[in-house]
Structure 1
Amino acid sequence: MRRYGKNPDEDDIRVRPNRKGNRPRTSIRPKHEDALEGFVLTVDRGRLTCLVEGRTVMAMKARELGRKGVVVGDRVGIVGDLTGDKDTLARIVRVHERASVLRRTADDDDPYERVVVANADQLAIVTALADPEPRPRLIDRCLVAAYDAGLEPLLVLTKSDLAPADELLETYSMLGVNYVVTNRDELKTGEAADRVRESLTDRITAFVGHSGVGKTTLVNALVAADRRRATGRVNAVTGRGRHTTTSALALPLPGETGWVIDTPGVRSFGLHHVDPSRVILAFPDLVPGTEGCPRACSHDEEECALDAWVADGHAEPARLYSLRRLLATRERREGD
């Protein structure tokens, strides 16, 4: 045992360093005023590919963000190595406020929300008219999710050479949804992509659809050749497509005239998170009629004021029917 005598001074006593570091803990976080703005293109196993000042940069989420999620379409603050060189890694230190959030749940009884994309302003719902057969209930659910998120829906019907589009379009005529009808020959010649592109200019459009409907094939026709993704075929026995797109990816349109976000094929679109009061905002002709509705009205009950509003001639009955049909999808499973 070391002895220091009767009157040791500070030079005689060795102070053990703090094993956890000598820097005192603080709740003050760096402001990262030098952070540049980035746009998240895709997320893969904790690594985020971002566009920063025209360069593609690989990044990870900073620990200080905690459990705050970062998804495709997010606009973020990013610091660190922003050269975009191989084996470099930057840090996302800030997620800017989102203009819109497209969400879904795995099932209707699943309370866990999954953010599909952020900051999109349009949702392209792609469905085939045959091979595989159209699924109106899934279309309805995507429409509800779009209205809930404040996105404008665009219905894209493919393979019209195999079946007519009239009957399906009639179902959605009273909703006033924009649509584009294409066939396989037009897809090969580029005519289909040209028509769809007219509805995408200066917008961020998320593409959703059931596997095998030609969603990724269409996206590939819209973007530059070096940006294209792998595609699959429809199983002749089950009529189902194979999930060739496993993660969302934002792709620029030629000439930087807009963005398309290709998302993985979906077999269900849960609506556990949807609030009917947000969906009805997509029906501006019906909104004034809800003033007499009881609190938390589902808009499909005896006390709903919309029935009297329509009966008095303020709106078309078909519009109320369309609203209630969409809201009813929240209560029925997609396969019912």
Structure 2
Amino acid sequence: MLEGTIIKGIGGFYYVDTENGLYECRARGIFRKQKITPLVGDRVSISVVDEETKKGVVENIEKRDTELVRPPIANVNKALIVFAIKNPKPHLSLLDRFIVLAEKENLEIVIILTKADLDDENTLDEIKGIYELSGYKVISVSNKTKLNIDKVKDELKGNIVVFAGPSGVGKSSLLNEIDSKFELQTGEVSDKIKRGKHTTRHAELLKLECGAMVADTPGFSSLTLDSISENELKEYFIEFEEFDNCRFGFKCIHENEPSCSVKEAVENGEISKQRYESYIQLLNEIRQGKRRY
């Protein structure tokens, strides 16, 4: 059998990249009985049905290191979360949702801020200040001026990476700058609704010349936190950990409890006030969601 990685899945067909080339495969019926659906990013073993036409069957799926739900991709180890400085306006609460979900999957996170050439209100410095204080690497880029494209390439090398972020921020355009052979379809942001058109229709791993595989995925306008509990959320705001020596210990959710070290750190400017307010907003959203069930 051949070993490879599923790089695309459409209509029950799985396209597996192997050392002998790309094979179009069906999955064995046993996966359906076991309620297992092959995912883009899965490391698999295939049997070859027809070498001339490159047809095969997925026989085995290796254990996944990670599994994302939206987008549905396996074995990603790094998330590049892409937001624009302008057009569309960056909504930091949405950025924090992406971060929380990536932290839940234990992914390394890098924040990419696109359209840096449009920064006429110092938005870039403000956002970088918030997230660098929180412990994240932030890279500002411009496709127009080629600013820091090489830095993004360095982040990609040797990784399976998901590009996440809302529509219209320039994920596909950035990938085109990184590796022009893809010539990915890009879309203009609607002037009427200021939201990107969904130009990417399915999850697909793209092989880069720099030795990485990246997932170009549909943009999202909302993300839910249904799988995260009230007590769990604080774990995904990584800057809280340094100050997590509260009076009530691990039971403290850093909201209304007295002698809370996290709240004190916010007051002292050691934790971003914006990030803390975002945490409280998400905490309340989780509670409201649980009440509906």
**Structure-1 residue corresponding to 2:249:** 292
- Structure with bigger helix share is 2
Displacement of 1:77:
2.0
Aligned-pair CA distance for 1:159: 0.9
Q: Is the 8 A contact 1:141 1:326 kept in 2?
A: no
Deviation for aligned residue 1:280: 1.2
Q: Which residue of 2 aligns with 1:73?
A: 41
Residue 224 (structure 2) pairs with residue 270 (structure 1): yes
Partner letter of residue 182 of structure 1?
A: V
How far apart, in 2, do the equivalents of 1:117 and 1:330 lie? 26
Total equivalences in the alignment: 277
- C-alpha distance in structure 2 between counterparts of 1:192 and 1:146, whole Å: 23
For 1:156-175, what aligned pairs fall within 5 Å after superposition? 156-163=112-119, 164=122, 165-175=124-134
Q: Which residue of 2 aligns with 1:209?
A: 165
Q: AA paired with 1:332?
A: E
What amino acid does structure 2 have at the position aligned with 1:277? E
Structure 2 CA distance for partners of 1:119 and 1:309, relative to 1, 3 Å: same
Pair 1:50-2:4 in alignment: no
Superposition deviation, residue 89 in structure 1: 2.9
- Is 1:244 paired with 2:206? no
Q: CA deviation at 1:320?
A: 9.3
Q: In structure 2, do the counterparts of structure 1 residues 181 and 61 end up closer, same or farther at CA, with 3 Å as the change threshold?
A: same
- The corresponding residue for 1:37 is 3
TM-score by length of 1: 0.73
C-alpha displacement of 1:172: 1.8
Q: Describe the shift of the 1:73–1:318 C-alpha distance in structure 2 as closer, same or farther (beyond 3 A).
A: same
Q: Residue 234 and residue 43 in structure 1: after superposition, are their counterparts in 2 closer, same or farther (change >3 A)?
A: same
Measured on the aligned residues, the alpha-carbon RMSD in Å equals 3.0
C-alpha distance in 1, partners of 2:64/2:244? 25
Whole-angstrom distance in 2 between the partners of 1:69 and 1:316: 46
Q: Per the alignment, do residues 330 and 186 of structure 1 end up closer, same or farther by CA in structure 2, a change over 3 Å counting?
A: farther
Give the superposition deviation at 1:193.
2.5
Deviations 1:44-81 (A, max 9, x none): 11111111125111112211112212111111122233
38 and 209 in structure 1: CA distance in 2 versus 1, 3 angstrom threshold: same
- Contact 1:300–1:324 (8 Å) recurs in 2: no
Runs of 4+ aligned residues of structure 1 deviating over 6 Å after TM superposition are none
Of 155, 168, 176, the residue aligned with 1:220 is: 176
> Shift in Å at residue 149 of structure 1?
0.5
Deviations 1:266-303 (A, max 9, x none): 11111111245376164542566698333xx6x24445
Q: 1:123 offset after TM fit, Å?
A: 0.7
Which secondary structure does the structure 2 equivalent of 1:50 belong to?
A: strand
Distance 1:69 1:327, change over 3 A: farther
Structure 1 residues 246 and 101, CA, compared in 2 at 3 Å: closer, same or farther? Answer: same
Work out the CA distance in 2 between the residues paired with 1:125 and 1:142: 7
Q: Distance in 2 between matches of 1:263 and 1:290?
A: 43
Larger Cα-atom Rg = 1
Per-residue CA deviation, residues 130-163 of structure 1 (Å, 9 max, x unaligned), is: 1111111110100000110001111111111112
Q: Could you tell me whether the CA contact under 8 Å between 1:147 and 1:279 is conserved in 2?
A: no
**Hey, what's the Cα distance between the residues in 2 that align with 1:154 and 1:230?**
24
Aligned to 1:14: none
- Work out the CA distance in 1 between the residues paired with 2:14 and 2:128: 39
Specify every segment of 5 or more residues in structure 1 that has no aligned partner in the other structure, as ranges: 1-34, 105-114
Please give the residue correspondences for 1:325-336 in structure 2 after superposition, counting only pairs within 5 Å.
325-326=278-279, 328-329=281-282, 331-332=284-285
Q: Which residue of 1 aligns with 2:271?
A: 318
Deviation at 1:200, TM superposition (A): 1.4
CA distance 1:154–1:54, shift in 2 (3 Å): farther
1:144 matched to 2:77? The reply is no
The corresponding residue for 1:261 is: 215
